[in-house]
Amino acid sequence: MNKKILGVFLLAVITVSSAWAQGRKGLRINEVLVTNEENFQDDYGCQSAWIEIFNTTFGSVDVRSCYLTNDKNNPRKYPIPKGDVLTEIPPRQHLLFWADDMPNRGTFHVNFKLDPEKDNWIGLYDANGRDLIDSVTVPAGIPADHSYARVEDGVGQWVIKGDKGSGYVTPSTNNVTLDKNEKIEMFETHDPFGVGMSVLAMLIVFTGLLLLYLLFRGIGQISVLVKKRNAMRVHGISDKDEAREKGLGRESGEIYAAIAMALYQHLEVHDVEDTILTINKVKKAYSPWNSKIYSLREVPNKK
């Protein structure tokens, strides 16, 4: 018995560990900013280089015990501490680490800096310190307040962002920023007064009403056919012409209403017997508060 319990426990641990490892494989280094002069500030109000990690999966992934490093020869350079609830990345969300070489400031401040004059290799390793989850080489010479980011979150090529044409720098948010609605702009160009939109909306409504009408009409015809077939079966008639002459299945609504009322009256029971009217005397408790004689004054006796 103890061996079975131990085996089930080990199987559960292996399953959970495997699922956890599979979830961490969905982590991606998503955006990096090396020179921060007028960009995002950390929780101390300082402007430092930052590294953004994106969770590409549809489940929460905890990055605790993973390693961030800028040295290929030292994959365990910065171990992400345990015990911080904020290390769990929700589905399709981001997490920001500050490359300020000040790990004493908290979980998300790593123990290395990025050099804007050199290529910066950044790697994210699993908890064992051997399996590389993701890595990127940030080229040197990127202008200040410009980031090196993927075109889309977690996928695509890397581009330099920061100019109006190349896209916005997006720490802790989506790399693709939609600052306009192409459909609305198209409607404003081709239909400035909204006439086409009104006609299209009314057409959709009337089309829906027409479809509902056809649907209910079809259901009604099917129910009439089923009713006629059942009536023919009850009367033992197989010829449709004979059934049409006798008017089977074409009873009016008044007949069905009368039958329903008769069934209701038959099934509704007023008394124990249907032909006996039972009258029970209702006893009311007497109370001087509702007696009117106490509201009359006694007439004085004349002498």
Confidence category of residue 15, pLDDT binned at 50, 70, 90: very low
Which is more confidently placed, 174 or 181? 174
pLDDT, averaged across the chain:
82
pTM of the predicted model as reported, rounded to 2 decimal places: 0.57
Torsion angles phi and psi, residue 160, rounded to 5: -90, 125
CATH homologous superfamily, domain 2-179: Lamin Tail domain (2.60.40.1260)
Half-sphere exposure of 233 (CA within 13 A, CB side): 6
Q: What is the pLDDT of residue 303?
A: 60
Separation CA 26–CA 155 (nearest Å) = 11
pLDDT tier at 142, thresholds 50, 70, 90: very high
> Averaged over 274-293, what is the pLDDT?
62
DSSP 249-298: T---HHHHHHHHHHHHHHH---SSSTT-----PPP----GGG-GGGGSPP
Q: Please, which pLDDT band fits residue 249 given cuts at 50, 70 and 90?
A: low
What pLDDT is stored for residue 11 in this prediction? 54
Of the listed ranges 101-105, 164-168, 280-284, the least confidently predicted one is: 280-284
In the sheet with 132-138, reading across from the earlier edge strand, the strands are 78-79, 67-69, 120-125, 132-138
Which phi and psi angles does 125 have, rounded to 5°? -110, 155
Higher pLDDT, 226 or 119: 119
Most confident of 33-37, 154-158, 232-236: 33-37
Q: What is the pLDDT of residue 291?
A: 61
For residue range 90-99, list pLDDT tens digits in order: 999 999 999 9
Could you please report the per-residue DSSP string of 149-186?
Answer: EEEETTEEEEEEE-STTT----TTS-SS---S-HHHHH
Q: What is the pLDDT of residue 253?
A: 72
Q: Where are the domains of the chain?
A: 2-179, 195-290
